[in-house]
Amino acid sequence: MAAEIVNTIGETDDNFIDPAFALHRGGKMEVSATVPVNNRDDLSLAYTPGVARVCTAIAEKPTLVNDYTWKSNVVAVVTDGTAVLGLGDIGPEASLPVMEGKAILFKQFGGVDAVPIALACTDADEIVETVVRMAPSFGGINLEDISAPRCFEIEAKLQERLDIPVFHDDQHGTAVVTLAALRNAAVLTGRTLGQLRAVISGAGAAGVAIAKILVEAGIGDVAVADRKGIVHDGRDDLTPVKRDLASFTNKAGLTGSLEKALDGADVLIGVSGGTIAEEAVATMAKDSFVFAMANPEPEVHPEVARKYAAVVATGRSDFPNQINNVLAFPGIFAGAFQVRASRITEGMKLAAAEALAAVVADELSADCVIPSPFDERVAPAVTAAVAAAARAEGVARL
């Protein structure tokens, strides 16, 4: 098997090399110095004896670590490899290319340094203890590709024990970008969030976080469906997370299947994979929105969704309106770091979504309700909004 893999990724008889493997060879990142070490004087300042004076100062006043090390601008990108992209539980080693990718996106789009860390354990308490022990080296923790429901527990416990931002991007990054796109879709069609009824396909990390932020933002109603149908408080098979979800969603009291809930709905948000039948989409309200975000295959193909929906979004870069987390997480951490926030609050997430939506507020069309990841206005706008929100909410320390 190993030989077959090598032959697949290496040169073939026609000298073709898979460009993805060519790009990844040797990894996608490195550590580089920000100061010169070219002579004896440089060495004596960067290392001993000069470094001892800095260490002593930090020992006497620990907050100086933020001024005299990279801590105040570095994130640990932490995974256990159990829910990687659309690949599932592939383990820590196989997750590293994704974590490296996340790290370079932090730097490229937010000016934030990041270190990929793949842990060889899946027990929630062990992960928490490991990250707590590493935390003195980092200004923030970005949890990545950790399966639900453990991801909720890990994030909550870490934020309880640490005084630096802890952010599970699969939850909150997705939620922020989804809300921003939905705000603009509503404006485009002359409505407000409060006039919309949404249905979310998927009650995992992203689905739960999207439901929470939509409720916080004032959505008219939102129902969430898992594999067994709509999550409601009359079901006796709900996990603690889903019981909580049922307590603040589905004001209409819907029961039964996802397809039943879509009848007359204004919004479909797909974060589950699988396929949603065209016949169900056809029953949605006039000028509906379909955000089918599963990768690589959306729950509803855009060509099908456009027959019925006024705005269509996916998670893919080859269709308009890509719901891409890179629009959120670099600026959110950059804003939090700018004011040395102790956590990332719901208010900071809402501010990020509002700022992201505002970037293209004057350019709205059915194919433009969310900026491109390469729009240079995005990161500064999100950074400024998050920093301001952190100050307003009392979690800023600068």
Catalytic residues: 47, 102
Radius of gyration of the chain (CA): 23
CB 103 within 8 A of CB 116: yes
Residue 321, number of CB atoms within 10 A of its CB: 24
Cβ atoms of 216 and 227 within 8 Å: the answer is no
| Residue appearing with tokens 């951490």 | 333
User: Comparing C-alpha atoms, which of 352, 360, 359, 317 is closest to residue 333?
Assistant: 352
Cβ atoms of residues 282 and 308 within 8 Å: yes
First to last CA, the chain: 55
CA dihedral 88, 94, 99, 100 (to 10 degrees): -150
Cis check: omega of the bond before 97, within 30 degrees of 0 = no
User: For residues 150 and 122, is the Cβ–Cβ distance under 8 A?
Assistant: yes
Whether the bond into 296 is cis, omega within 30 of 0: yes
304, 278 in Cβ contact below 8 A?
yes
| Residue 268 φ/ψ, nearest 5 degrees | -120, 125
